[in-house]
Amino acid sequence: MMFQKKKNPSNILDEAQISSVLGEDIEFEGNLRSKSTIRVEGKIIGNIIALKGIILGEKGHLIGNIESESAVIHGIVNGNIKAKELDVKKTGCINGDIIADVINVEIGAQFNGKIDMKKNTVLSKKTIEIPLLNTTD
């Protein structure tokens, strides 16, 4: 076959085994690190490093940064994203900067920030050292 549809990031994550799910009734404060794929439906105040992948559901809300091989955003991110593959769905909203190799943005998605597209984005091996927002207001 001459033409084959390439898999987009969300298809890759749909086929991946999700090791952890944070439900929509969960509110977590602190940094989160996972070697596999996670799904977040609740609210996190802190940074996330999910080496394989992260799916932020429609009700998911992150105040912090994401670093991951693949990221699918259905919810709200108030922070920066660094990923090799990023898929922002129509319900997704990102308020922050993006560094990625591949980006897919659906019509209707919102993005406020700058994009830096690089080949072979290097993910850090340590916790992201970016100060958290003051949440004691």
Distance from C-alpha of 135 to C-alpha of 109, rounded to nearest angstrom = 26
- 11-64 pLDDT, tens digit per residue, is 555 555 777 888 899 999 999 999 989 999 999 999 999 999 999 999 999 999
Residues 76 and 93 sit within 8 Å (Cβ to Cβ):
yes
Residues 85 and 67 sit within 8 Å (Cβ to Cβ):
no
pTM of the shown model: 0.79
Distance from C-alpha of 102 to C-alpha of 73, rounded to nearest angstrom = 14
Distance from C-alpha of 34 to C-alpha of 20, rounded to nearest angstrom = 9
Q: Check residue 20 and give its pLDDT.
A: 81
Could you tell me the residue ranges of all domains in the chain?
9-117
